[in-house]
Amino acid sequence: MKIATEGQLLRIFIGESAKHDGKPLYEWIVLEAREQGMAGATVLKGMMGFGASSRIHTAKILRLSLDLPLVIEIVDSPEKIVAFLEHIDGVIDSGLVTLERAEVKIYRTDKS
């Protein structure tokens, strides 16, 4: 798959307890990204964070949170990102979504 050098980075900030149709929301988003032919998606798990509610979520032993922050990152062409965002918009009940320009320097698979 080819990707333009001028891409866009979609970041979706949600809690790991967020669900869609009984499935973890992050998992549903990544599977939808693959189904929609996006270039790739990565889920990053945060150790600590807070959002609009200002409630601290942390992985510390004494304050073990069941809802650690997650960030889903997807880079693709601006057109594909916008279409994907429209596709998933209705399922994100709580969270933050950001977009920024991304200059793609390398996008390739193993050379095997």
pLDDT tens sequence across 9-64: 999 999 999 999 999 999 999 999 999 999 999 999 988 887 777 777 776 655 55
Inside any domain, residue 34:
yes
Inside any domain, residue 112:
no
Determine the pLDDT at residue 112: 53
Inside any domain, residue 66:
yes
Query: Could you tell me if 13 and 51 are in contact, meaning their C-beta atoms sit under 8 angstroms apart?
Result: yes
Residue in 18, 9, 59, 14 with CA at minimum distance from that of residue 38:
9
Inside any domain, residue 16:
yes
Average pLDDT over residues 73-85: 96
What does DSSP assign to residue 84? Answer: H
Q: Which residue has the higher pLDDT, 57 or 5?
A: 5
Number of domains comprising the chain: 1
Residue in 95, 86, 87 with CA at minimum distance from that of residue 50:
95
The CATH number for 39's domain is 3.30.70.120
